[in-house]
Amino acid sequence: MTEKRVETIRWVGDEDGQLVLIDQTKLPLQLVELNCADVETVWEAIKSLRVRGAPAIGIAAAYGAVIGAQAAADDAAELLQRLQQVCEHLNASRPTAVNLSWALRRMEQRAAALRDESPPAIRAALLDEARAIHEEDRRMCRAIGRHGAGLLADGSGVLTHCNAGGLATAEYGTALSVFFTAQDNGKKLHVYVDETRPLLQGARLTAWELMQRGVPATLICDSMAAQVMREGRVQAVVTGADRIAANGDSANKIGTYSIAVLARAHQIPFYVAAPSSTFDLSIDDGGQIPIEQRAAEEITEGFGRQTAPAGVDVYNPAFDVTPADLIAAIITERGVVQPVTRDAIAAMLSE
C-alpha cells in the first residue's frame, strides 16, 4: 500500500480541464486516480462508487456539469439546454443522497442567471460554482469537526458505520472529522469500524483513513456491534447521512438504523454528522426518502467470489432511514441540533 496523499476530488486546468478522482473501488490495496474527461465517465464513477459519499458525489457531479458544458454551443440558450440534459442525466446516477441534486441545482441556477451572456462566460461561471461547492464542503467538514468534538469524552470508544471521511467529502469528512478534531484537541479515542456489508466501505475506506491519520481503530463485522456495545467498549456512535428529512429522520448506509436501535438499547448516544447540504426540507419525514436498490451480485458475488447459490432471490437496499427519535443530536457546520426536532432543524437552517 502506498502512502502517497492525493485529494479525493480535484479539477485540473481551466474551463476546458478535467476531473480527477481517487478510484475508491481500488482501495485499500491501490491508491490510484481516475481521469474523467467526459460526462459518461463521471456518471459511471458515481454509479459504480468510484466516487461515493453524499458530499463527494455532489462535488463530482458539479464538475461533471462543467464537463458537459464544454461542447461547442452557438449561444447561451443552446448551452443551457445541454446543461439541463447533462444535469438530469447525472442526477439519475444515484437517488438517495440529496447532495447530488442540491449541487446540480446550484449549477443550473448559476447558468440560468447568465442567460444573456456568452457561452464562454457561462462556462467560466460554472467552473467557479463547482469550485465554490467544493471549497464550501471543505469548510463545512472542518466546522462539523469543531462542533462535534466536544460531544466525545476523552478516553471514549466510538463506533462508526460506512465511510463518512475525507473520501466521502472534499476532505476531512463529517463523522470522521469529529474524531480527527477530537484527537487534534488532545482527546484519546478508540474507533470501532463496522465493515459495512455488502460493499465494505468501513473495512476498505474508513479503516484505511483512520490508519493513515494514526487514529486507533478496530475493525468489526457489522453483526458484532451489539456485543461490542454490551462489553462497554463504545460510549458514542457517530455516522454520516445521505439525506435528512424536515423532521430529522436520516438516511444513511444500510445497517445504520440497526446500529441506532442497538445504541438506544445500550443507552449510548447516537449522533449524525452532516452538512446543511444534506438536509431536504421538501420532504416531511424519512418515509419519503428514495432508497437506492443495487444489484444482487453485490451480495451473491461481492468482490468477484460467489458466496451464495446461483439464482437465489436477493434484496439489496443500499440505505436505510434512522428515525429522528433515535438520534441524540445532529452535528452540522452551523452547530449541534439537540434535541432533534422539526423546529430546531428549521431554525438552524434558516440562520
Q: Report if residue 58 touches ligand MRU, rule: CB under 6 A.
A: no
Angle at which helices 98-112 and 76-91 cross, to 10°: 180
Contacts of 69 (CB under 8 A, 6+ apart): 79, 82, 83, 86, 111, 119, 122, 123, 126
- The stretch near ligand MRU (CB under 6 A) out of 2-10, 78-86, 230-238, 240-248 is 240-248
242 is catalytic: yes
Among 242, 249, 280, 320, binds ligand MRU (CB under 6 A): 242
Closest CA to 238 of 165, 145, 345, 161: 161
Q: What are phi and psi of 323, to 5 degrees?
A: -65, 145
With CB under 6 A as the rule, give the number of residues binding ligand MRU: 20
Smallest gap from Cβ 292 to ligand MRU, in A, equals 8
CA–CA gap between residue 191 and residue 206 (Å, rounded): 10
Q: Report if residue 253 touches ligand MRU, rule: CB under 6 A.
A: yes
CA atoms within 13 A on the CB side of 133: 34
The residue length of the chain stands at 351
Closest CA to 145 of 114, 189, 80, 201: 189
Identify residues 129-188 at the interface with ligand MRU (CB under 6 A). 162, 164, 168-169, 173-174
Catalytic residue among 137, 194, 242, 249: 242
CB closer to ligand MRU out of 68 and 165: 165
Q: Report if residue 318 touches ligand MRU, rule: CB under 6 A.
A: yes
Q: What are phi and psi of 197, to 5 degrees?
A: -65, 150
Q: Report if residue 197 touches ligand MRU, rule: CB under 6 A.
A: no
Q: How far is CA 229 from CA 22, 123, 152, in A?
A: 34, 52, 16
Among 55, 95, 148, 248, binds ligand MRU (CB under 6 A): 55
CB closer to ligand MRU out of 242 and 280: 242
Contacts of 323 (CB under 8 A, 6+ apart): 249, 260, 286
Among 31, 36, 49, 207, binds ligand MRU (CB under 6 A): 49
Compute the radius of gyration of the chain from its Cα atoms: 20
- The stretch near ligand MRU (CB under 6 A) out of 53-61, 220-228, 230-238, 306-314 is 53-61
Smallest gap from Cβ 52 to ligand MRU, in A, equals 3
Residue closest to ligand MRU (Cβ): 240
CB closer to ligand MRU out of 29 and 113: 29
Q: Which amino acid is at 324?
A: A
Please give the residue ranges that form the binding site for ligand MRU (CB under 6 A): 49, 52-55, 97, 162, 164, 168-169, 173-174, 201, 239-242, 252-253, 318
Task: Catalogue the active-site residues.
Answer: 242
